[in-house]
Amino acid sequence: MPSLAEKLMIKGEIKGKQELLIKLLRRKFGLSFSDEKKIRSVAGESKLDAKSKDEVFKILRSTNV
């Protein structure tokens, strides 16, 4: 079982990746506030493999967000 410090570190890494993804998508495609909220609600890296904004949100829908 991960320690509290490890959990916080993992949470911080995920948040950083979410913010980077938001920044990249906003710059390339534009994002609404609700799009950003959806991205922030998912803790995982699968969305980083998407080839388009639509694919990102398809991944988000499949995670029941």
- Integer Cα distance of 65 and 9 in angstroms: 23
Phi, psi dihedral angles at 30 (to 5 degrees): 85, 140
The whole-number average pLDDT for the span 44-51 is: 64
Task: Say if pTM beats, i.e. exceeds, 0.85.
Answer: no
The whole-number average pLDDT for the span 14-33 is: 90
Is residue 3 predicted with pLDDT exceeding 80?
Answer: yes
Which pLDDT score, from 0 to 100, does residue 65 have?
A: 44
Q: What contacts 24+ positions apart, CB below 8 Å, involve 47-53?
A: 47/21, 48/17, 48/21, 53/25, 53/28, 53/29
Confidence of residue 23 (pLDDT cuts 50, 70, 90): very high
Confidence of residue 56 (pLDDT cuts 50, 70, 90): confident
